């Protein structure tokens, strides 16, 4: 970890308005993620974890504050530029996999690359190489409904990684998997983190969170605890 911040959220506010109701889902949330950091996010159901992911990654609009990715204020970009920037810099892994059932495994992984402007031939090569790395070289032409849950999640991870993002977001990526598959997915994410990727992982499972460098706890749309985990030494202060 270099200590440089890759992601800075400053006073991010999110209000959902449905009918006459208002829910303040993020209360002026501040969060800094260092380059190469593995951050786990925990908190009760409804506390704002998925909202944090959606808003801080720029998938969703915000009602106040700003988010800087490498110094760039992403919510000030046009929709088109923000989508492009996101496709280049970020990957996403969700509990429900969110694969397109009528596309083949290869096509699912290629799609974000094509959206980011990668040439067709390169997108196919990169999709194949990433799927092979996930141990899915024998499943390239299958469609997601023909795969096991663990295989589907590995396709989703390949899709998140194929564009070589610097930041990967995962929302309960092991929630639909049995414990053996979940352990494999966590091991895979750990390897990516070892290669320098920044990883932000939402989980209800403390044993999953224990793999992270740092754990934040969200409650009622606020970060209420922020702790460093494991044996990673803090940088020494030079006087
Ligand atoms: N699209 C939406 N419209 C209105 N309210 C929403 C919307 N999405 C989330 N909320 C509300 O915002 C709050 C935070 O929801 P969020 O989905 O971020 O919680 P969470 O921490 O991810 O919960 P879980 O652990 O159950 O996934 C909740 O009160 C929720 O009901
Ligand atoms: Mg959620």
3-state secondary structure of 138: coil
Which residues are placed with Cβ below 5 angstroms of ligand 2, an ion?
A: 49-50
Pocket-forming residues, ligand 1, beta carbon under 6 Å: 16, 18, 23, 25, 43, 45-51
What confidence score (pLDDT) does residue 163 get?
85
Q: What does the pLDDT look like over 26-84, one tens digit per residue?
A: 999 999 999 999 999 999 999 999 999 999 999 999 999 999 999 999 999 999 999 88
What is the average per-residue pLDDT within 111-129? 92
Ligand 1 centre to CA of 223 (Å) is 15
Q: What is the mean pLDDT of residues 142-152?
A: 93
Domain segments of the chain: what residues?
5-228
Tokens 């929709």 appear where?
A: 79
Distance in angstroms (rounded) separating the CA atoms of residues 220 and 41: 13
Of 47-61, 94-108, 152-166, 170-184, the poorest mean pLDDT is in 170-184
Residue 96 pLDDT level (bands cut at 50, 70, 90): confident
209 C-alpha to ligand 2 centroid (Å): 15
**CA torsion, points 172, 19, 63, 156, in degrees to nearest 10?**
20
- What number does CATH give the domain 5-228? 3.40.50.300
pLDDT band for 231, please (50, 70, 90 cuts). Answer: low
109 three-state secondary structure: helix
User: According to the model, what pLDDT value does residue 95 have?
Assistant: 84
The 10 Å Cβ neighbour count of residue 226 is 13
Q: Whose CA is nearest to atom 19 of ligand 1?
A: 46
Residue range 163-188: mean pLDDT, rounded: 88
To 10 degrees, the CA torsion angle through 153, 176, 193, 223? Answer: 140
pLDDT score, position 181: 81
Give which of 199, 213, 97 is closest to 157, Cα–Cα: 97
Q: Give, using CA atoms, the residue closest to atom 4 of ligand 1.
A: 16
pLDDT of 178: 84
What is the H or E stretch that residue 10 is in? strand 5-18
* Angle at which helices 149-161 and 120-133 cross, to 10°: 130
Q: What is the pLDDT of residue 216?
A: 98
- Atom 12 in ligand 1: which residue has the minimum CA distance? 25
Alpha-helical segments (H) within the chain: 49-56, 79-89, 105-115, 120-133, 149-161, 179-194, 206-209
């Amino acid at each position: 970890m270099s200590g440089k911040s890759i992601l800075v959220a400053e006073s991010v506010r999110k209000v959902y308005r449905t009918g006459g109701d208002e829910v303040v889902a993020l209360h002026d949330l501040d969060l800094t993620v260092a380059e190469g950091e593995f951050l786990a996010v925990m908190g009760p159901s409804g506390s704002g974890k998925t909202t944090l992911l959606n808003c801080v990654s720029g998938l969703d609009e915000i009602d106040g504050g700003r988010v800087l990715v490498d110094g760039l204020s992403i919510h000030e970009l046009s929709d088109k530029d923000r989508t492009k920037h996101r496709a280049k810099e970020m990957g996403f892994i969700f509990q429900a996999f969110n694969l397109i059932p009528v596309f083949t495994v290869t096509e699912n992984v290629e799609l974000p690359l094509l959206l980011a402007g990668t040439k067709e031939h390169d997108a196919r090569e990169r999709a194949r190489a990433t799927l092979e790395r996930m141990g899915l070289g024998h499943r390239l032409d299958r469609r997601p409904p023909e795969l096991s849950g663990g295989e589907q999640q590995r396709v989703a991870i390949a899709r998140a990684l194929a564009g070589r993002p610097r930041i990967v977001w995962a929302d309960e990526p092991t929630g639909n998997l049995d414990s053996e598959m979940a352990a494999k997915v966590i091991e895979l994410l750990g390897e990516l983190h070892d290669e320098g990727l920044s990883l932000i992982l939402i989980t209800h499972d403390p044993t999953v969170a224990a793999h992270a460098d740092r754990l934040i706890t969200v409650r009622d749309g606020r970060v209420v605890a922020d702790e460093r985990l494991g044996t990673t030494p803090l940088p020494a202060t030079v006087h």
